[in-house]
Structures are given as structure tokens and as C-alpha cells.
Amino acid sequence: MKANTLEEAVALTKKFTSKPSNDELLKIYSHYKQATVGDNEEERPTGFDFVAAAKYNAWLSLKGKTKEEAESEYIDLVNKLSEKYI
């Protein structure tokens, strides 16, 4: 099963039978946020919330990428990961 749209890719991630690595999860998250929100304009997390900081930095690394580019890369990434996790 291959996803062709953002919605299909999101649904496909819910069928993963095991959890992707933290790096893979950050790529999924950052591309989804860039595709749906655009550039990260949020406040940088403070304190010792390392998960929030990692997510913030992953999303920030895609700054300038269009929503369309991020969506296409998200779909490609999820399709690739589905071969490994479904």
C-alpha cells in the first residue's frame, strides 16, 4: 500500500507495527509540520524538555522549504518507512 496524499500518508503511519527510530520520527514530524504549517515561527522551548527541543530543531531545519516540497518529501518518507514497519 502506497500513499499518494498527505492524508493517506498520515493514515499509513498509524498502521506501522513497530516504532520507527527517533531520527525517523523527527523526520516524519518535521516534514508534517512544514507541510501543514509552513516555517517554524514558534518560540524555542526552554528548560530541559529535550524532546520538544529536538522537535523544534528538526522542524526549524526545514525553514524555507515550501509546503508542497515538504508534503512530497513526507509522503515519500512514509512510503519508504512503511516497507520497514508494516
pLDDT tens per residue, range 47-81 = 999 999 999 999 999 999 999 999 999 999 999 99
CB 56 within 8 A of CB 25: no
pTM of the model: 0.95
pLDDT reported for residue 34: 98
Q: Stretch 33-52: mean pLDDT, rounded?
A: 96
CA distance 3 to 42: 29
Q: What percent of the chain has pLDDT over 90?
A: 97
> CATH no. for residue 69?
1.20.80.10
Residue 41 domain-assigned (yes or no) = yes
Instruction: Give the total number of structural domains in the chain.
Output: 1
Q: Stretch 12-29: mean pLDDT, rounded?
A: 98
pLDDT reported for residue 1: 84
CA distance 37 to 66: 10
Domain membership of residue 44 as a residue range: 6-85
Burial of 25 from C-beta contacts in 10 A (0-12 / 13-18 / 19+): middle
Residue 1 domain-assigned (yes or no) = no
Rounded mean pLDDT of the chain? 97
Residue 40 domain-assigned (yes or no) = yes
Residue 68 domain-assigned (yes or no) = yes
Among residues 54, 6, 1, the alpha carbon closest in space to that of 30 is found at 54
Q: Stretch 34-38: mean pLDDT, rounded?
A: 98
